[in-house]
Amino acid sequence: MNAALLRPDVQAYLSEHAHTDLHTFILKGSPFEDVSIQELAQQLDGRRRMRHKLPLWHKTDGILFPPKLNLEQTSSEVTASYKASLMKGVTLFDGTGGFGIDSYYFAQQLPQITYTEKNESLFAFAKANFEQLQVDNLTMVQGDSLNYLKAHHSNYDVMYFDPGRRDSTKTKVFRLEDCEPDIVMHRRFLLGKTKQLWVKTAPFLDITAAANALKQVSQLHIIAVDNEVKELLWCVEDVSPTYDYTITVVNLKKTPSDKQTFRHSDLRKATARYAAPGKFLYEPNAALLKAGAFEWIGDHFSLYKLEKHSHLYTSDQLIVFPGRCFNILEVFPYSKALKKRYAGKQYNVTTRNFPLKVADIRKKLNIKDGGSAYLFFTTLVDQSLVVIECTKA
């Protein structure tokens, strides 16, 4: 990291060009002998990319941004804040400190934070930013976190790891065992150092495979933001291996967040009931679907499922539901005759367990995008293909 980026004249120049086209900005070259145009462009690009993901970092003077690849894996402020609310105790060890977003919010929740980061450059960015953000209850260690733990006898109330999901060639990896550090291999050692080991993983990770690998899972949090699953957060504790862990699904949003908690065994016990569409249609939020709570949803909320693989639910009485709720206006068999009804009109189109994609349906029936009405193309329990015409409840 180039410390000259923090000079007032450099910061003023970046602010002056906050809205300049990046290509045009690069062509102008750098007006500073000790700061390259590539370094300036990285800061400008980072500020823009993080405007919504990291609003505090975006608006704070003197914040520096690492390369784009480092920003991709970093937590958003809203997910970091949620995770921090789960951490209990006095001391917390962040073994993959990275850009420092999680550690910053951990420091708002617990008195003593130890941040470690192996990447020297990324460590320098985080250190400079912690100073700008005036974080004073955080100890910073540059180096390999596992080596540090082996060399020191300290124990911690909580440990947190966000293993890197790219290998030495920068290629994405998909198994927990292939991430760096390998939490699966070092699980026993880490549990000897802490009461709770929290592990953040990518949203696409297979839940069953991860639970089998981590073995001593006590909690799983599936974290979505505005109905997009962003992270899986695992809590591993020194208990006998169990697969009846607690699952919390949360959809963080500006309006009150949706949140449900149940046990993994509840998913196995739940039984779905099936029926044709009634007066109301329900589409679960993405976090619930990621949990595989397909039967539990109907069981818990006393709803009927349209078909085993459709993951749409119905009732004749409107309920409060963690997802989208619709008034059902009409149900039509899927056929060529639908073109006459929908051609040239505006609808929001969704497919669930249907042989055609949304783009193919729009083209085939000449449906325009948008409007206040909704069309759900799906399969019913009798295997008939239908379109359900709705408005939001």
Give the tokens for residue 263.
């046990």
**Adjacent-strand bridge partners of 63:** none
Question: Which strand (E) or helix (H) includes residue 335?
Answer: none
Q: Is the domain of 243 the same as that of 294?
A: no
Domain boundary among 25, 40, 71: 71
d(CA 306, CA 380): 5
The pLDDT mean for the chain works out to 93
Q: Is the domain of 87 the same as that of 220?
A: yes
Q: Is the domain of 332 the same as that of 384?
A: yes
- 180 DSSP assignment: B
Q: Is the domain of 332 the same as that of 223?
A: no
Residue 218 has pLDDT above 60, yes or no: yes
Q: Is the domain of 129 the same as that of 225?
A: yes
Of 368, 377, 327, the residue nearest 350 (C-alpha): 377
d(CA 96, CA 208): 24
Q: Which residue has the tokens 């919504």?
A: 52
Contact 62, 11 (CB under 8 A): yes
d(CA 276, CA 144): 57
Q: pLDDT (tens digit, 9 = 90+) per residue, 306-336?
A: 999 999 999 999 999 999 999 999 999 999 8
Q: Is the domain of 153 the same as that of 248?
A: yes
CA triplet 80, 56, 105: central angle to 5 degrees? 30
Domain boundary among 211, 230, 264: 264
Q: Hey, is 183 helix, strand or coil?
A: helix
Q: Is the domain of 141 the same as that of 223?
A: yes
CATH code of 123's domain: 3.40.50.150
Question: Which strand (E) or helix (H) includes residue 370?
Answer: strand 368-379
Domain boundary among 264, 291, 310: 264
Q: Is the domain of 166 the same as that of 315?
A: no
d(CA 388, CA 338): 12
CATH code of 60's domain: 1.10.10.1110
Contact 76, 225 (CB under 8 A): yes
Q: pLDDT (tens digit, 9 = 90+) per residue, 256-310?
A: 778 999 999 999 899 999 999 999 999 999 999 999 999 999 999 999 999 999 9
Question: What are φ and ψ of residue 365, in 5° steps?
Answer: -100, 0
Helix ranges restricted to H, 89-230: 101-109, 120-132, 145-151, 183-191, 207-214
Q: Is the domain of 101 the same as that of 117?
A: yes
Q: Is the domain of 279 the same as that of 239?
A: no
If one counts the domains in the chain, the total is 3
Q: Exposed, middle or buried by CB within 10 Å (0-12, 13-18, 19+), for 255?
A: exposed
| Full residue range of the structural domain in which residue 17 is found | 3-71
Q: Is the domain of 254 the same as that of 277?
A: no
Residue 151 confidence (pLDDT):
94
Q: Is the domain of 67 the same as that of 79?
A: no
Buried b (16+ CB within 10 A) or exposed e, 159-172: bbbbbbbeeeeeee
Q: pLDDT (tens digit, 9 = 90+) per residue, 130-157?
A: 999 999 999 999 999 999 999 998 999 9
Task: Give the pLDDT band (50/70/90) at residue 254.
Answer: confident
Q: Hey, is 228 helix, strand or coil?
A: strand
